[in-house]
Amino acid sequence: MADDFDLSENGVNHQKPENDEDVMTTAQGVAVADDQNWLKAGARGPQLLEDHIAREKIFHFDHERIPERVVHARGYGVHGEFELTDPIPELTRAGVLGGEKGKKTPVFTRFSTVAGNKGSPDLARDVRGFAVKFYTEEGNWDIVGNNIPVFFIQDAIKFPDLIHAVKPAPDRGFPQAQSAHDNFWDFVTLTPESMHMVMWQMSDRTIPRSLRFMEGFGIHTFRLINADGKSSFVKFHWKPKQGLQSVVWNEALKINGADPDFHRRDMWNSIDAGDYPQWDLGVQVFDEEFAEKFEFDVLDSTKIIPEEQVPVRIIGTMTLNNNVDNFFAETEQVAFCTQNIVPGIDFTDDPLLQGRNFSYLDTQLKRLGGPNFTHIPINAPRCPVRHFQQDGHMAMTNPKGRANYEPNSWGTGDGKEEDRGPRACPMNGFTSYEAPVTGPKLRTRSETFADHYSQARQFYISQTPTEQTHMANAFVFELSKVERMDIRKRMVGHLRHVDASFAQEVSDGLGLDELPPKVPLAREPRTDLPESPALSILKNGPGSFKGRKLGIYIAEGADAKVVQALQDAAKDAGAMVGIIAPNVAGAKLSDGKKLEANEKIDGGPSVMFDAVAIVMAKDTATTMAKDKPSQDFVSDAFAHAKFIAYVPEVMPLFEAVSVGEKMDDGFFDVSGDTGAKDFIEACGKLRFWDRAPVKQD
């Protein structure tokens, strides 16, 4: 409102506070009279250093950045809650998992990419971090995982090498947020243990459609300890209730150009609209006997335990229902540590996990400036905290009383019980599982970790032909960016141990004259592992259009009834709708009413939507047929195997991009009474994959 401002003589607007609570202050709480002008000696004179208000403001601005994470720098955090639906007290004494049915625990979840910096795009081909902080009544518990259940390396000592290899080359500072370069493929082709993870990385798992539509995994084998001290092994799984979904590579490239914040915006808008994403927390629980008989070492983080062998038991549901109030204070300052566990949960001797436990605490010290990062609200436990740790950088609270050490004899009859401080509690406190430990000191790798290809093959044969084609294309694309021929050939030599036809397909795609030789083996891989349907995205889709987004491209004279029918059908299915028009002001429909657009056509390409509809009058469709963004909207939707709704009047636009003669069962004429409903029902399949080329056996 204009009357909210005072216009001073020099033309600077000063917005008036509505009440005392709106008065601006310094960090010391002193009210500010003028936030527009530095104190000067005369109206045109030099600035004065005595202006403590300006000095404080600039001082804080100069120091408002902290070191970004070395990995997982680009992240997005959301608040929510975890509800326990199937308690497991027989397996763990942790209240968050073994308490009463219906028990709710606050959580904060941060999703991220791994390789890129904070300013990199969301749709880079990359592993996604999936970290959850539970604010339990017994302390904070962090599941610090990824959207892929295995990792590149088996021992944490190789983590710096892995990250150095995938990050921008130190001499030139590029490429950014991608693995399609010599250093990365040089490293992994010299590290055979990476082969299983590389297969996942080249799958569509690393280009998810949304953070809402991907799985999460704790990766490592942990222990659950019950009240009697009995131990069970466990792996943690997050399964999206919305189903799995990814984009195709060409879409990812175009989305990064159209909206590099695509994943962030999608999550914010979904929660803001009340469409809260949910994941079921599942556990794979097994004992020592199974671990001894299993084909691979359960301590090897490059291996999974197929769900067909150990089913995932669903024990609770996480609902993310609250966007952050401040990105920096929460998402940027949140500190996850694999070492954060509560009584009833314990570690195993997984060498990658052991190294992460050492590393993460040191990381937080570097990023957040000192040992008191747990005083920051997003990291602070929601349960009482009592200890003798004191002082340090940015201490918010210090222990009360005279004693800052333990044991002490204060409170033993002197009438000053408050001075004694806390004491350890053997009955309820955290105790480690008494696993026997023996053996000489060695720098070695267990022989049980030596098979690097069997599960890589199992992952490949578990994919649909469409997914296998995408994987081959991904390998060809990435290796085509590698300049050294010997590295390309070495990778194909690894793939020959995974699947012969797949290796040949990649070799042909690279234009190699002959199939490179197989690389030497540490152990002969198995070829008898069965398919695991749980490893496929397309076999685990949602089966509905709920939570997805329909893009409706309209122009002047569009049939108002058809547009309304599409909106209603999408809403009934629990989907969102975006209106696209030649101008963002929208278009006047056939009923004479103007429908405002969400996007102008060149700012709302079809790659931003899960399915599209084009509704126009014939004359406007003829005009749009000459418009390049409109042509791209249709041709990209067709190329990306999307379901396409249309009215017959838009045929001039289809014919302009040679789609008219290629129309298939993925096209729906929605001019009839049930057309919109039939279209949205078909969209539950998400893609019309029959339109996409696949590998031929």
Catalytic residue IDs: 72, 146
Residue 113, beta-bridge partner list: 128
For 300, half-sphere exposure in the C-beta direction (CA atoms, 13 angstrom radius) is 22
Contact between residue 487 and residue 476 where contact means Cβ atoms under 8 Å apart: no
C-alpha 213, offset from chain centre: 9
Q: Residue 235 — φ and ψ, nearest 5°?
A: -120, 140
List Cα–Cα distances, 624 to 6, 32, 587, in angstroms: 48, 55, 13
How far apart are alpha carbons 297 and 305 in whole angstroms?
10
Q: Could you tell me which of 372, 378, 377, 368 has the C-alpha nearest to residue 394?
A: 372
Give me the count of residues in the chain: 697
Residues 162-182 as b/e (b if ≥16 CB within 10 A, e otherwise) read: beebbbbeeeeeebebbbebe
Nearest to 474 by CA among 134, 201, 142: 201
Comparing C-alpha atoms, which of 568, 563, 569 is closest to residue 581? Answer: 563
| Cα-based torsion angle of the residue sequence 556, 558, 560, 565 in order, rounded to the nearest 10 degrees | -140
Q: Which two tokens stand for residue 369?
A: 């400036």
Helix axes 485-495, 465-480, angle to 10 degrees: 160
Residue 214 vs residues 76, 208, 529: alpha-carbon distances, Å: 14, 7, 25
3-state secondary structure of 14: strand
Q: How far apart are CA 30 and CA 12, in angstroms?
A: 22
Q: Which of 66, 69, 141, 71 is nearest to 99 (CA)?
A: 141
CA distances in angstroms from 264 to 70, 78, 147, 548, listed in the order given: 20, 10, 16, 15
Number of H helices and E strands in the chain, helices first, is 19, 20
Q: Two tokens at 485? A: 């021929």
Cβ–Cβ contacts within 10 Å for residue 581, how many?
Answer: 24
How many other CB atoms sit within 10 Å of the CB of residue 683?
27
| Lookup: tokens for 507 | 């070799």
Give the count of beta carbons closer than 10 Å to the beta carbon of residue 564. 14
Tell me the C-alpha distance between 260 and 601, whole Å. Answer: 17
Residue with tokens 């994987």: 471
Q: Which of 234, 208, 224 is nearest to 146 (CA)?
A: 208
The two tokens of residue 75 are 């992240």
